[in-house]
Amino acid sequence: ATDFNEEEDANPDEWIRKCEAITMEVYGRIDKYIRTPWSSIHSSVVNEEALNNTLRNQPDNNDSIVSSSVSRRRNQDPDPAAIMNEIQQRLRQEIELRRNVEEQLSKATTTMTQMTI
C-alpha cells in the first residue's frame, strides 16, 4: 500500500483516485469474504479432518477433562440449534466489521476532503 504521508506534493486528485482504488479493493475483498461459503474455506491453521483423525487415533485419558469432552463431542451429531447460533454469531461479527470499515472509510473521506479544501 502507498504511504500517502510521504506524498505531500502529490496532486490531490491523484491522491483521491488512489484512496478510492484502495477502498474499492478492500470492499471487494470484504464482499468476497462475506459471500464465500464457510464450507469452501480451507484453513491452513487447522485442518479439521486431520484434527479429527488425530483425535480418533489417540486413546482417551480418563483423568483428562479435555479428553473426555473430546470423546463426548466425537460421539454426538452436530446440534442444528448450535450450528444456527454459530452462523448468527458470525453474521453479527461480519456486520460489526463492515460497520467499522464503513466508519473508517467515512473518517478517511472526511479527512481527505478537508485536506483538499
pLDDT of amino acid 36? 77
Question: Of 112, 106, 114, whose CA–CA distance to 14 is shortest?
Answer: 112
CA distance 58 to 75: 15
pLDDT of amino acid 49? 57
The yes-or-no verdict on residue 5 having pLDDT over 70 is: no
pTM here? 0.34
pLDDT of amino acid 43? 54
Mean pLDDT of the residues in the chain: 72
The yes-or-no verdict on residue 2 having pLDDT over 60 is: no
12 within 8 A of 115, measured Cβ to Cβ: yes
Mean pLDDT of 49-61: 52
Question: Of 56, 50, 82, whose CA–CA distance to 71 is shortest?
Answer: 56
pLDDT of amino acid 42? 60
Banded pLDDT at 113 (limits 50, 70, 90): confident
CA distance 25 to 22: 5
Out of 31-35, 52-56, 60-64, 87-91, least confident range: 60-64
pLDDT of amino acid 6? 57
pLDDT of amino acid 108? 87
CA distance 107 to 99: 12
